[in-house]
Amino acid sequence: NEVLQQLLQAFGGPGRSVLGFPPTYSMHSILASGTGTRWVPAERDAEFGISPETVTAAIAEHQPDIVFLCGPNNPTGTPLPIETIAAAYDATDGVVMVDEAYAEFMPDDAPSALTLLPGRERLVVSRTMSKAFAFAGARVGYLAAHPAVIDAIRLVRLPYHLSALTQAAAVAALRHAPAMLAMVDDIKQQRDRMVTELQAMGYRTYESWSNFVLFGGVADPHAAFEALLEQDVIVRDLGIPNHLRVSAGTAEETTAFLDAMRRVAAVQPPVRVEA
């Protein structure tokens, strides 16, 4: 969040705008507001995707100073095609920021936005150790960009923004990255298991490259949330009509969720939804 805020402080501000594609990470619009940058929402394609044509058309219409893309998208888990990122960069003279908070959960053969950095001085890629490293309490995020962009961000960065203890913990985690990331493949397996079994129950799921699954067809999301909570299962009600989101965990946790969801479905059958 601090990295994103610094980017807006350096390249946004009063009289400037940032283009985003909701539903997306809620802090994008909040940080824009806090820095006086005008937030411009644009429509997504079906299934919450963004095609190269869609991003190019939105940029041509709104002429933003900054473009925020989120891939995989939060809160939907939707993939962000590498072609969409390249098209966005080519369509604007401004900064293009790709939020890759969930990048470690992407398929192994899916290219990261990092691969596009050479020769693209206005491209910025942000990452976090909160997700795949299960290191949220350390509050460590980072970005990759051209040195000129880094220098600009240093102008607005507060001094002493990361403690020595936090930095030492992050370095230690990176030195043990294979051990820290050992659960990622297991989590992806449970994510895919939830997709398969939710579909079998009659719910609509969406392709997810993250550690969670968005599913539709929930007749009453609030009632379903409460019914799951009574069974000691917590999911996310994102405010998307007829949808809920569930995070992948261990095999045992996944079984507990699926069993609880079957009991919910027996009382509240899935309904048809469009997206």
Give me the sheet containing 204-205, strands edge to edge: 204-205, 212-216, 243-247
| Residues 44 and 160 grouped into a single domain | yes
> For residue 213, is it within any domain?
yes
75 and 144 part of one domain: yes
Which distant-in-sequence residues (6+ apart) come within 8 Å of 249 by Cβ?
187, 190
Domain identity same for 143 and 241: no
The phi, psi pair for 167, rounded to 5°, reads: -65, -40
Same domain, 237 and 125: no
In which domain, by residue range, is 227 found? 184-267
Q: Are residues 242 and 212 in the same domain?
A: yes
Both 165 and 258 in one domain: the answer is no
Q: Are 110 and 79 in contact (CB under 8 A)?
A: yes
* Gap between the Cα atoms of 66 and 69, Å rounded: 10
CATH code where residue 204 lies: 3.90.1150.10
Same structural domain for residues 143 and 194?
no
d(CA 20, CA 25): 9
Q: State whether 20 and 83 are in the same domain.
A: yes
Asked if residue 224 lies in contact with residue 233, where contact means CB atoms within 8 angstroms, the answer is: no
Q: Do 149 and 194 fall into the same domain?
A: no
3-class DSSP state for residue 89? helix
Domain count, the chain: 2
How does pLDDT run along the chain (275 residues), one tens digit per residue?
999 999 999 999 999 999 999 999 999 999 999 999 999 999 999 999 999 999 999 999 999 999 999 999 999 999 999 999 999 999 999 999 999 999 999 999 999 999 999 999 999 999 999 998 888 888 899 999 999 999 999 999 998 888 999 999 999 999 999 988 889 999 999 999 999 999 999 999 999 999 999 999 999 999 999 999 999 999 999 999 999 999 999 999 999 999 999 999 999 999 988 76
Q: What is the pTM of this model?
A: 0.93
Pick from 158, 177, 196: which residue ends a domain?
Answer: 177
Nearest C-alpha neighbor of 82 from the set 69, 93, 64: 69
